[in-house]
Amino acid sequence: MQLDLLPHRTAGAAENMAADFLLLQRYPEPAHARFRHYGWRAPAFTFGYGQKIAYVREQLATRAPDEQLDLTRRPTGGGVVDHRDDWTFALVIPRGHALYDARATESYRQIHAVLVEALREQNQPVVLKERCSVDPEMECGSPSTPGPTVCFIRPELYDVLHADTGAKVAGAAQKRTKHGLLFQGSIAKSILGAVDWDTFEESFTSRLATSLVAEAIATPWPEFAEGEHDGLTEQYSSPEWIEYR
């Protein structure tokens, strides 16, 4: 299998979510996984598909009360994610790969285990949260545990934690369709020490390719149908989408 390493892009919140979803739905290659790291054009927050907008707005009023934010609902689950100082990535695994058929907790564990290795190579004291300390339905359970959450406040099973402080360093959310599995991840830079992010990305993608039994190859950005990305970006920008729940 091939792991397509797509070019870095910086975009608005709706544009980024639209691109990730199209990489899942319109770029299905049975023998290809695809990876991209991307940036944010403005201070941004995203929140999980199942989150209620009233809860999200309560959190934003507390965490960024005076800031103009770029906000959208993700196609994946999970909680509220602050992208103002994070390292964001998306990974699409095609249908037919073993990780596509695995339980959500297993794909979460495998990808975050690779992330831990790459961060440790940068001398960062990070570990996986490998067990639940209380009732798993209330504390961590699976990454898709329902109910209001704020990512980087409540660690889930197989999140990446700072070994010294217990602070959440990295989390993710997933969506599985007939085309493949979309994994959207975020690393909180402010919790870590100095990191050479270019070297980290090289190590992370190399280790990820090994874990997926794939060959990592730099790949041009795919061509979607004319107007498709713009149309989906408009949808993700709309009040109907953002205030869906």
| pLDDT tier, 144 (very low <50, low <70, confident <90, very high otherwise) | very low
- Closest C-alpha among 133, 157, 137, 159 to residue 81: 159
d(CA 171, CA 176): 17
**CATH classification at residue 197:** 3.30.930.10
3-class state of residue 32 by DSSP: strand
CB 105 within 8 A of CB 172: no
Q: Among 110-119, 142-151, 178-187, 215-224, which stretch is predicted with the lowest mean pLDDT?
A: 142-151
Find tokens 């570990």 and name the residue. Answer: 127
What percentage of the chain carries pLDDT values higher than 90? 80
Its domain, for residue 54, covers: 2-242
The tally of domains found in the chain comes to 1
Kindly give the pairing relationship between strand 2-5 and strand 32-40: parallel
| pLDDT tier, 154 (very low <50, low <70, confident <90, very high otherwise) | low
pLDDT of residue 58: 93
pLDDT tops 80 at residue 113: yes
| pLDDT tier, 139 (very low <50, low <70, confident <90, very high otherwise) | very low
Element (H, E) at 22: helix 13-25
Chain center to CA of 92:
11
